[in-house]
Structures are given as C-alpha cells and as structure tokens.
Structure 1
Amino acid sequence: MNVWFAASEAAPLVKTGGLADVVGALPKSLLKRGVDVTVVLPKYGEIPASYTEDAVTLETFHVSLGWRSQYCGLQEITVDGVRFLLIDNEYYFNRGSLYGYGDEAERFAFYCFAFMEALGRSERLPDIIHCHDWQTGLIPFLLRTRYAYNPALHRIRTVFTIHNLMYQGVFSQDLLKDLLSAGDDLFGEEGLEFYGAGSCMKAALRYADKLTTVSPTYALEIQTGEYGERLDGVLRQRSEDLRGIVNGIDTDIYDPMNDSHLKVPYRNSLAKKRQNKTVLQEELGLSLDENVPLIGIVSRLVGQKGFDLIGEALPGLMEESLQIAVLGAGDPGFEAMLRDAVQRYPGRIAVWFGFNEGLARRIYAASDMFLMPSRFEPCGLSQLISLRYRTVPIVRETGGLRDTVEAYNEITGEGDGFSFGPASAHDLLYTVRRALSFYGNPEAWKQIVLNGAKKDCGWDASSKQYHLLYRELATG
C-alpha cells in the first residue's frame, strides 16, 4: 500500500496547530502497519535548516498556473523514517509565516498543481492520495478534471480529511477561474460554486472518493445547519462516503516521564506531578501553593474555544480557591479580557500571550485540571495530551471532546473527566465546581486520574481505521 499525504504543515518540520501534529504522527503509525507513506509539503522558510540541509533535489520543472509559469523544485528528505517531498518555490513559501497573505488562493493553487506534477513524475504512483484541509482541496478536483487525460492516474483514489469545516478556502470565482484556467461549467451548484464565490473545500467534498472528519460526533454535527458552515447539504448528500475517525497523539513525544521541558519527570505519581506545579507557579508569578487546584488552558483565544463563556464565568470562578494558567493568542477582545483578569486577580491568574512549546508542556504537567469549553471542536488534541499528563479535562460535550472524554460517575467510579452540554457560563461554572468538590476528596481524585491513565491516546486504533479505509478504496 502506497499513500501520499497532501498537507500544508507537518510536525516536526513546521507547525501552527493540531493539523501538523496529525500529519506528523499518523504516517509514523501507518508505517508500522506496512503502509508506505510520503508526505508532500511546501518548503517553507520556517522549516529549520537542520531538516533541509541534506535535502536531495529530485527534479526541477515549471508549473502552469493560469497565465503564469512558475518554477518548482522537488526535494526529498527523511524524518523519523517518513519520506517527505518538499515543494520548493521561494516566492510563495519563503515568507515570515505560513498563512495570512493576500495571495493565499494562488499560493495553494500552485501547491496543488505542483503536487499533481510531482505525481506524474513519480516512478511509483500512490494507491491513495490523502488530502488534509482546504489548502489541498483542489487536488481531488484536478485529478478528476485537468489531469483526467492521463490514464496512469485513473486508478488513484482520494481521501479528504476535514480538520475544521470553518476554514474553507473561499475566493472569488474570477480568481479561481484564472488560476485553474476553468470555465463556468465547473462553477455550478454541483461544482465549486459557493454562494456566488468558489470554495476549495467544496471542491474536495465533491470530487474526493471518501471523506473523513477527525471524530465520529463531528461527522454527524457537520451534517446539520448549526455546525455545517453552509456545506451541510453537500455533506448530507455524501453521508455514505463520510466517516469520523478520532485523532490520536504521538505518545512518544507527549510523555511526562521523558519530557525534556519538565523539571520533574513522572508517570502516575501525583506527588511528583505537584512538584511541577510549584515550578510553574514560580515561572508565571502565581502564588506558591502545591495544594491549590490549578486549571490550565492552552488554546487559540477565539470564540470557537468558548472564551466568551470563560469571561462570563470568571467572577464566579474567582470565588473558588483555584488558580488559572493560560497560554495562547488570538482575538484582541479576549486578550484584553485576560489582561484585565490578571490585574484584578494578582497571583491567581497568569497569561502568556503567543505560543511556546516548552511552556505548553509545563502547563499540561503542572495543572490539575484542563479547561476546554469549546462551542465546537472537530477533535481537539489538548484533552488527549492532558490525559497523557495525568491532568483531568473539563470539556463541553461537542465533537471530539464528547468522543474522547468520559464524564466521571461517582456511583460507578468510571470516567476520566468532567463535561457539560449547554454552551453557557452557568453550566461551565457548575461543572468546574463539581470537579473541585472531587479534587477535595484525594481518593476519588486519584481514581479519576488513574482512569485517564488507562486510556489509549495514541494513534494505533485510529491508524488501523485509516488503513482499512485505504484498503477498501484500493480494492474497490
């Protein structure tokens, strides 16, 4: 089985979010199942030279993009046993960051065309192309339209994974027609047309052979008007080809016993875990007390993540004996809310704006609870990382949070976290207070933590499902 991944980022080379973690970890798990995986990635300037200094240039060629003819270099490296092909074009990819430019449509249309050209030049064609998010959404479309003339490509099947339906790659039809050299016939209701514009996400939803999301619950949610981001009709039409496969995490990387970012390694010892709490309290300027419950948050500061609920609940939370440590960046309004909270509650709330991998690990390790009150969450990795670090998640019951966190049942003793349904500050506050009541019972709390320790947060089960999906497509 030969599979090519198409993605805009992949750990450890370059990362802005959970997409990179998935594209970095899933191929390694598939390799253990005998799947030959190649990850095709833009060669960003942000990729550390230590990964690219030994890159081998396989070919150079030009890519036609509308009226443009752009240089492309195809380079090969191997990282952690996984083969990477890097699409080299400094104009498009050697910039200060991965995303956020005015020519995003052109940059990733170039990537998709370059991917197809690299495919045609490969000595061994893949059985499956696995595309991730809107930046790669044009690949299934190009395979079945612009490159349909090549009979060697006809047997290739495509899988498209939706990591977050909110981000769809929507651009004007005139721009996409120019970049794709396409006419009106490809922009009807059954094509790329999206409320007068064109959607790269919709291109994949229409043309990929199979669709996946990153949790079973999210696969159901996006077929409704509430979560479907105006694509729910298309997704309902393709419901037979849509399935949810929950993400995992790389348990070798996320391991509190072997994490270089932590001062005190631990496995199941809550005493050693609490030593990391006092280290973090000192680092962030929180009051030093290993017994006070610490709630951690590592997140983008955006409405999707429920920060409006946190803001409403904050006065009630501060009536309790607890501390909060936040790492993230995003909406200026939420950042201002958190700055104000730090001033009003000195020594009890600490916020670090931006992202810092080492600090994120220390928050996971030091916290007793991890708060994720998301309004929607395709999968989420933070709750899985928190379980790995013996930190109890408090989540809203949506998407992958519902699929991966089992609410604690004090009668049966089962469950590894706490959850609430309605997206309300009242329910958030009630659930945190409930968690605090069990934190005050050392035996009950130890049981909750040990329940979470038994959960398999790795990729083995999920990669098995992807492998079965690939085989189903390749043999069908």
Structure 2
Amino acid sequence: MSGSGQLGGGLKLRVLLASSEVHPYSKTGGLADMTGALGRALARAGHQVGVVKPLFRGVRERFPELRRMDWRFDLPLGDRRVDAALWVHEPEPRLTVYFIGHDGYFDRTGLYNENGRDYADNGERFIFFSKCVVHLARYLPWRPEVVHVHDWQTALVALMVQHERRAGGWMDAPRTCLTIHNLAYQGYFPAWTYGLTNLPWTYFHPDCAEAYGQLNCLKAGIATADRLTTVSPRYAREILTEEFGEGLAWLLRRRQGQLRGILNGVDYEEWNTENNPHLPASYSVRDLRGKTVVKAGLLRELGLPEEVDVPLFGMVTRLAEQKGLDILLPALHEMLAARMRFVLLGSGEARYVEALEGLRARYPGKVGVRFGFDVGLAHRIEAGSDFYLMPSRFEPCGLNQMYSLRYGTVPIVRAVGGLDDTVVDARESVERANGIKFHEYSAGALAHAIRKALVLYEHPALLHRYRVNGMRMDFGWGRTAGEYEAVYREALAAPPLVWGG
C-alpha cells in the first residue's frame, strides 16, 4: 500500500468520523476545524462519510433543517440503561452528520466546562457518547469500514470496537483510527468510572485503560486502535520522547509502527484574503495594499492610534501555559519600549487575563486586548498584523500560523510540532523564508526573535518577499485528506489489532 497523499484513488471508502466538536456546529478550538474540514474533503472526493457528535445546546436553533430519525439508543451504562435520540443533517452530497441527543448530558452552557470548571460527569457523558458511536458503527445500513475517532472524548471507541470484535461476534467490525490532537489532555477519571463502560475489568490494566489507579481514556485508545495519527509529522516524533510524551511515550514507542504524523489542512474557503466578509478590504499576493486598510481598521477597532507605519504584532490564543504566555509577558515587557504595538484576542486562565490587563495599563496606546471569542476579530488580527506570535511550549499542529501565512502576516514561532513543519526560517532557506523561528523556551529567546522582526520590518523589500512566500504556501485539505485515506487503506489491508494485554 502506497503512502501517497493523492486523494480519491481506488475504491471509494465508507468512513465514520467521531468527535466531540465539529465546525460549524460547535467549536472550542482546532479539533472542530479539523474534523469538519476532513469530513467535507473526504465526501467531495467521492467517499461515503458520516460524522457523529453530541447535540449540544443551540445547534437545532442555528440549523433548523436538522431532522430527527426514527432511531433511539437504549444502552447500558454501568448498572442502568440510558436512552438518547438521533438527529441528522446532510450538508452536502455523501456527507451525513449524526447528532446524539441527550438533554441531560449535552444541553448545557458549555461543551466541557462552565465558569472555568470541568463538568463533574464528563467521564460519564463521553463514555455514553462513545457507546452511541459504536452502536451507530455496528448498525448503520451503509456499514462503515473505518471509524476515525479524535482525542480522549472518543478514544474508548477503539477499545469498545475491539472488544465487540473479539467477544461480541462482530466479525466484520470496522478498523479504527485514533487522531491525537493534544496528548496533554488524556481524559483521567476515577477508577469506578470504568465500570460505566460495561467492559471486562481485564482491560483496566497498566498496558491499556488504567493509569495510576484511574481510567485514562486516551491511553485505552492508543493501546487498541488499529492506526494512530497526530496532527503534524514533528509532533508524531516528539511524543515518542519523555519531554513531550506526557507519561505515555513508552506506549507510543510500542505502537510506533502504526503511528503517523499528518499535518492539518486549512479551509481556504474561510481563510481567504479576497471577498472575506470579516475583512474591510480585499488583497492578494499580487496587490497587498488592502492589507494596510485592514491594519488601520484593526487599530481603530482596538482603540490604538492609526499609525500604520508602526510594526504590529498580533496573537489569537487560548490563555494557557502551553501557548507560551509565561515567556510572552516578560518578553513584551522588555520589547514594548521599542517602536511596536501588540494586539491579542483570547480567553482562558484568570492569571493571564489579569497580567494582560496590567500590560495594557502600563503601555497605553501600544497594547490592545480583547477577551472572549470573536470570529471576525480573529480574522482581522490575522490579516491586519505585520507579525503573528506563537511562542508555544509545545504545539501539536497549530493552525493560526498557517492562517497568518495565507494572510501575508509573518509568523514568529518556537520550533516545535507543527510550527516547525510549516514555517521556514531564513537559516533554513533564504529564498523560501516566510517566518522567524526560535528554539529555547525563554523570554530572552522570544525577545530576540521580536528584535529580528523589527529589523525585518525596516527592509520593506525583504518583508514583502516573506509575505509573498507565506501567501503562496498551500496547506489545503486535499493533500491532508489524501494522507488520511492512505492510512485508512493501510488499516484495511492489514489484520485487525488484537490487544494482548
């Protein structure tokens, strides 16, 4: 089986994707973007695709064309039975989105948490959701050949499918593929939660579902999925090391032969510099003048002086340690004395909100921050900034650096994960350079990279070349979906995994 990324070759596949969030129905981050775009790309290539997700609050109101199917789930959950409804949406040919409707579990203010606190029953919620996914995979009339699950919320599907194959008479069970979007989030729950799976306790073992006396959902999936992927090639290598392996490097090294890194794609229908409803002006690689109009509007929107000749650094991020806030804040305190401005849109930990408000107060007219989630402003920051900061401690893939490249905004990134895979520094290729990389995780290294950007800004012809190089990069979903298709075919061509724990 070839590892080619060519999409659509050979017999068409039947694939069921399972994810807790899918764009445009519900989203907290890149997981939703990836699953939504992958489903569309596979369907457009001619494959039959189903996507299954929870029916979260507000979806039916925003998508009134959803219809309820004559199908009810009645499934064991520990020592009781729980029922749920099935809703469907068919946004385009060969693509069906299935929604698991259970108001008690999913009709809530947040997807996973509320007021900064995770829901106490998250283990129960997503064990039940995983059971619904397996039930669909077994009984849908179109018989999926591959079930592709994402992160800890659906990782137990792989174990459940394997058990049904071995003990439940499901001889033609589909192959399973688990994509690890972020190894830091593993789905840890008390040991008693495992009983809700109704699986034999023989799987609650340090080589499978148990870790430090608790249920570890992601670990169970890593141990039992037929194929494993990450969202960038470098991250697939990094998680085999103790530094990035989050306690599971030993298990991932054991499964290394079935592990592959596939770089996420970008939906260029949305992230487009021309005729974009979120941007006040259009521009292109042939004519960048509209980018200055976007910059002026962004400065005005965030209450900063409209001096478009001052270099502007932007960031759209979760306010979390992973994203490099611990080195960003001291680096900015050092660098904002220079002729530059900084804008940020984000939400997350209160300590970072407080620190950013303090930064804005200390540098009035130089710092603009907005807290919360605003799709339009995110586009305008990506497009209106001159430089885009991503000083992540680790970054499985990262999408914002790819968005900024398409928008002609030069990314400044730490050389980890997908950031290293997508950004080209001048030290790697003077001709192809499109960004600035640094390696050491420190405020000093980030400040040095910002100084490089300020020098680059003083050389307009060179800055223009960086921008054009970035805008010409192609991270479209055709390539990415083709690589997933190759993984599916490899899994189907090989015997199913049998967990030997």
TM-score normalized by the length of structure 1: 0.97
Report deviation, 1:183: 4.6
1:460 partnered with 2:473: no
Give the partner amino acid of 1:86: F
Matches within 5 A, 1:200-219: 200-219=217-236
The 8 Å contact of residues 192 and 200 in structure 1, kept in 2 or not, is answered as yes
Distance in 2 between the 1:411 and 1:36 partners? Answer: 41
The 8 Å contact of residues 165 and 173 in structure 2, kept in 1 or not, is answered as no
Distance in 2 between the 1:296 and 1:275 partners? Answer: 16
The 8 Å contact of residues 424 and 433 in structure 2, kept in 1 or not, is answered as yes
Which stretch of the first structure deviates more once superposed, 398-407 or 186-195?
186-195
Instruction: Evaluate the alpha carbon distance shift between residue 336 and residue 224 of structure 1 in structure 2; reply closer, same or farther with a 3 A threshold.
Output: same
Instruction: Evaluate the alpha carbon distance shift between residue 410 and residue 206 of structure 1 in structure 2; reply closer, same or farther with a 3 A threshold.
Output: closer
Q: 2:202 corresponds to which residue?
A: 185
Picking from 441, 449, 455, the partner of 1:423 is 441
Instruction: Evaluate the alpha carbon distance shift between residue 329 and residue 50 of structure 1 in structure 2; reply closer, same or farther with a 3 A threshold.
Output: closer
Picking from 238, 247, 251, the partner of 1:230 is 247
Could you list the structure 1 runs, at least 4 aligned residues long, displaced by more than 6 angstroms after superposition: none
Which stretch of the first structure deviates more once superposed, 407-416 or 193-202?
407-416
Q: Secondary structure at the match of 2:348?
A: coil
Q: Secondary structure at the match of 1:329?
A: strand
Q: 1:241 corresponds to which residue?
A: 258
Picking from 256, 267, 289, the partner of 2:284 is 267
The 8 Å contact of residues 152 and 186 in structure 2, kept in 1 or not, is answered as yes
Distance in 2 between the 1:144 and 1:444 partners? Answer: 55
Q: 2:214 corresponds to which residue?
A: 197
Instruction: Evaluate the alpha carbon distance shift between residue 146 and residue 52 of structure 1 in structure 2; reply closer, same or farther with a 3 A threshold.
Output: farther
Matches within 5 A, 1:348-387: 348-387=366-405
- Cα deviation 1:46-86 (Å, max 9, x = unaligned): 32523244424141131211112111111211124431011
Picking from 7, 10, 32, the partner of 2:19 is 7
Instruction: Evaluate the alpha carbon distance shift between residue 425 and residue 36 of structure 1 in structure 2; reply closer, same or farther with a 3 A threshold.
Output: same
- Cα deviation 1:128-184 (Å, max 9, x = unaligned): 00000000011011111156444445341000000000010011112212x023454
Report deviation, 1:411: 7.8
Instruction: Evaluate the alpha carbon distance shift between residue 53 and residue 228 of structure 1 in structure 2; reply closer, same or farther with a 3 A threshold.
Output: same
Give the partner amino acid of 1:197: Q
Unmatched 5+ residue regions in structure 1?
none
The 8 Å contact of residues 56 and 77 in structure 1, kept in 2 or not, is answered as no
TM-score normalized by the length of structure 2: 0.92
Report deviation, 1:414: 2.3
Q: 1:73 corresponds to which residue?
A: 85
1:397 partnered with 2:415: yes
Report deviation, 1:258: 2.4
The 8 Å contact of residues 171 and 199 in structure 1, kept in 2 or not, is answered as yes
Q: Secondary structure at the match of 1:57?
A: strand
Which stretch of the first structure deviates more once superposed, 324-333 or 68-77?
68-77
Unmatched 5+ residue regions in structure 2?
1-12, 114-118, 495-501
Picking from 94, 97, 100, the partner of 2:107 is 94
Q: Secondary structure at the match of 1:141?
A: helix
Give the partner amino acid of 1:246: L
Q: Secondary structure at the match of 1:352?
A: strand
Picking from 289, 292, 309, the partner of 1:291 is 309
Q: 2:41 corresponds to which residue?
A: 29
> What's the Cα RMSD here?
1.5
The 8 Å contact of residues 54 and 100 in structure 2, kept in 1 or not, is answered as yes
Distance in 1 between the 2:490 and 2:244 partners? Answer: 29
